[in-house]
Amino acid sequence: MHGRPRKPLKEEDESVLSAKAEKLHSLQSQFLANHQNRIYTKEALDLSAKLLEINPECYTAWNYRKLAVQHNLSESNSDSDASLFDQELKVVENALKKNFKSYGAWHHRKWVLSKGHSSIDNELRLLNDFQKADARNFHAWNYRRFVTALMKISDEDELKYTEKVIGVNFSNYSAWHNRSVLLSTLFKRKAEGFSHKEKVLQEEYKYVHSAIFTDSDDQSGWFYHLWLIDQTVKNDAPLLVSSWPSHGANITLNGNNSLHGSGLSLLNSTLSDTKTLPVILCFNQAVEGVNSSTVVVKSELLKEDLVWKPLSTNNSSTAQVWVVYLNMGNMKLQLSKTYSIEINIGHSMGILSSNGYHYGAPSQITFEVCVQTAYTEPVDGQRGKLTSWKDNDFRKIDHFEESNPAVSADHHIPTTSNWCMEAIDEEITNFQDLSDCKIRKLTLARLLIALDLLSPQHDKRKNHTEEVLKLYTELMKLDPTHSLYYKDEHSLLLLQQITSSRESLIPYCHYYKDASETNTSYVCLRLQNLSLSRMGSFENLLWVQMLDLSHNELRSIEGLEAMQLLSCLNLSHNKFGSFTALGPLRLLKSLKVLNISCNELGSHSIDTRRYLCSSPLAHSEVFAWDRFEILCGSYSATKFWEAFLIFESLNLTDLNIAGNAVADENFASFIVKVLPTLKLLNDEEL
């Protein structure tokens, strides 16, 4: 099926092929008859061997031979047994000569070996022959792993074998891959000579350079090198990266129960409606086991047990971000009194990463809540008034209170030794000479990011963000085929740069309409027109209630579910191509105002977010047929299920979907049915 040239058959070739076809067909028919009638004579067996030599893909023939062996075994002694198995191995070898990628042949050999037949030397000799014929034959590599396990050959010896193979030709991805598997095992069980990861990794860096620097277009070493960087930098234990409220924050609830937090003033009419205060915990990786035992909340305010919820878009029990809602309405809060809330994380075991690592260092967050009686005018945007996103409705914030930062402090990964930074530093000097070489530029970018991640937060002078942003821009020109990959990386880094500190964030923060620092107000984070193709840094954005991401190039909002305080969101003029891309919004209880106008909803026949969104197709939820029928009556579920899935759990008051191919009158009347709380559609009152 592969690699045969296309050429029209000459007449004589046609008749030869026709004769071949007839011969094979009669062979196969005869075989099937023998198989059907369970005939295991020598003649029948020879026929099957002949068949497998011509057509090793005929899987039923391999089954037949196993049945024949079982049948003939029961009637013989051990000498005949040995020769029986020898015969099988021979048939396999002949078949592999015809097609050394035949699944059936390799499995048959494993079957024979699992019966206790053949010698290590014999199998290794066979494997060496195959290695010479095709160093990348993954069947042979799989078989090698099978044999070495069966015959208990050590990982250390196999590691030496990969060196031998790479020594012949570094362009052997299969060998590098095998090396990563063996080293992982040796590290995990802290085998002799492998307990000091740093020494081994330093040697491996030197070793893989041969593959990268000899021929920079050959990919064999790239992924191994990336794995080495990951092994150097990664911290297995899950850690808390940020929270809202952050440690030391001061949250004020005023008379009408709306929220005011110091640092950056916040007002959220939605919080006043629900009277709940969210507490958001953001970890560095997905974890499970966050509950009232592992995260203990202490305060005189609390009367009931708290239920922590994982913010997972596919209804999983593990998530990077967890939230709990404090029911302020139930509490008898005294005016002008400050209440302290203490959150103790990980003092008892139970928070686990998906790799089984326990939460790193027990930590504590304390914040204060207080109630004031200040009367406030209802601000535009509450009660169904149109939310404007126009420039002249916003005013830049010049400064804000120093007392409590809205942006959490420490995001750097604690390391126990300096060798990580030294190793990365060493690698950077090796990759400094750029020449217009894609893999060197990309590797240098990754190394610089790794270095910044490892550096202590206060050591700002070493920040390489500008340099890396420049590298990604160069890569977009150097390797246009993959330009959107580099653009996504660029966007992520840009966002990190913008959100990493109060100073960098302030230029993007604006007061909405007549808000100011002293009276209750809306603060909007305006990130429009930044050519963002991807969103990130959500750990720094937990405080945001109003967000403008319009006029960018976003196709997804993966991770946005962390922004539990979000009530107004502008995603207009982006590249959202499906309703499933809006999946994260289902987890935003506070969302009231949504603008997704001028996107590509309804323009695409293929949905790239289909399986990243919880749905019946992925068995993460059951389609709400009853509710669909009540709300939508005659509308077809096959036509509207995605929109229904997303919107039926939202409580929007203001929605703008104009400028999307899907937004015809039919769809508009459907969506109004699904959103009973809606007061404004496409900037018009309903």
Amino acid at 387: T
Binding to another protein by residue 273, rule CB under 8 A? no
Binding to another protein by residue 481, rule CB under 8 A? yes
- Tell which positions 508-537 bind another protein, by CB under 8 A: none
- Tell which positions 12-31 bind another protein, by CB under 8 A: 17-18, 20-22, 24-25, 28
Q: Given the complex with another protein, which of 60 and 501 has the nearer CB atom?
A: 60
Q: Given the complex with another protein, which of 402 and 626 has the nearer CB atom?
A: 626
Buried b (16+ CB within 10 A) or exposed e, 653-678: bbbbbbebebbeeebeebbebbbeeb
What whole-number distance in Å separates Cα of residue 260 and Cα of residue 403?
Answer: 14
Of the residues 164, 298, 396, 482, which one makes contact with another protein according to CB under 8 A: 482
CB contact set of 354 (below 8 Å; sequence gap of 6+) = 285, 286, 287, 288, 318
Of the residues 274, 291, 314, 501, which one makes contact with another protein according to CB under 8 A: 314
Binding to another protein by residue 225, rule CB under 8 A? no
Pick the piece of the chain touching another protein (CB under 8 A) from 169-177, 233-241, 384-392, 415-423: 169-177
Binding to another protein by residue 53, rule CB under 8 A? no
Binding to another protein by residue 247, rule CB under 8 A? no
Closest CB 317 distance from another protein, rounded Å: 11
Dihedral-angle region of residue 550 (phi above 0 means left; psi in -120 to 50 means alpha; beta otherwise): beta
Binding to another protein by residue 286, rule CB under 8 A? yes
Binding to another protein by residue 138, rule CB under 8 A? yes
Buried b (16+ CB within 10 A) or exposed e, 587-616: bbbbbbbbbbbbbbbbeeeeeebeebbbbe
Closest CB 229 distance from another protein, rounded Å: 11
What whole-number distance in Å separates Cα of residue 31 and Cα of residue 432?
Answer: 65
Q: Given the complex with another protein, which of 57 and 380 has the nearer CB atom?
A: 57
Binding to another protein by residue 154, rule CB under 8 A? no
Binding to another protein by residue 315, rule CB under 8 A? yes
Q: Given the complex with another protein, which of 512 and 640 has the nearer CB atom?
A: 640
- At CB < 8 A and 24+ separation, what contacts does 464-467 make? 465/493, 465/496, 465/497
What whole-number distance in Å separates Cα of residue 362 and Cα of residue 364?
Answer: 7
- Tell which positions 338-357 bind another protein, by CB under 8 A: 354
- Tell which positions 577-616 bind another protein, by CB under 8 A: 604-606, 608-612, 614, 616
Q: Which residue has the tokens 């709990």?
A: 324
Pick the piece of the chain touching another protein (CB under 8 A) from 103-111, 234-242, 252-260, 419-427: 103-111
Give the chain's largest Cα–Cα span.
101
Binding to another protein by residue 669, rule CB under 8 A? no
Closest CB 531 distance from another protein, rounded Å: 14
SS3 631: helix
What whole-number distance in Å separates Cα of residue 82 and Cα of residue 325?
Answer: 71
Of the residues 474, 623, 649, 673, which one makes contact with another protein according to CB under 8 A: 623
Q: Which of 605, 623, 603, 627 is nearest to 614 (CA)?
A: 623
What whole-number distance in Å separates Cα of residue 444 and Cα of residue 433?
Answer: 10
Q: Given the complex with another protein, which of 202 and 656 has the nearer CB atom?
A: 202
What whole-number distance in Å separates Cα of residue 550 and Cα of residue 569?
Answer: 9
What whole-number distance in Å separates Cα of residue 468 and Cα of residue 452?
Answer: 11
Q: Which helix (H) or strand (E) holds 656?
A: strand 654-656
Closest CB 341 distance from another protein, rounded Å: 30
Binding to another protein by residue 491, rule CB under 8 A? no
Binding to another protein by residue 576, rule CB under 8 A? no
Pick the piece of the chain touching another protein (CB under 8 A) from 376-384, 452-460, 496-504, 617-625: 617-625
- Tell which positions 360-419 bind another protein, by CB under 8 A: none
Q: Given the complex with another protein, which of 400 and 640 has the nearer CB atom?
A: 640
Helices 625-632 and 637-647 pack at an angle, to 10 degrees, of: 100
Binding to another protein by residue 107, rule CB under 8 A? yes
Binding to another protein by residue 115, rule CB under 8 A? no
Binding to another protein by residue 634, rule CB under 8 A? no
Q: Given the complex with another protein, which of 35 and 589 has the nearer CB atom?
A: 35
3 state SS for 119-143: CHHHHHHHHHHHHHHCCCCHHHHHH
Buried b (16+ CB within 10 A) or exposed e, 217-245: eeebbbebbebbbebbbebebbbbbbbbb
- Tell which positions 185-224 bind another protein, by CB under 8 A: 218-220, 222-224
Q: Say which DSSP state 189 is in.
A: T
Work out the end-to-end distance of the chain between its first and last CA atoms, rounded to an integer number of angstroms: 61
Closest CB 425 distance from another protein, rounded Å: 23
Binding to another protein by residue 627, rule CB under 8 A? no
Closest CB 661 distance from another protein, rounded Å: 13
Of the residues 36, 37, 416, 634, which one makes contact with another protein according to CB under 8 A: 36
The site for another protein, by CB under 8 A, has a size of 88
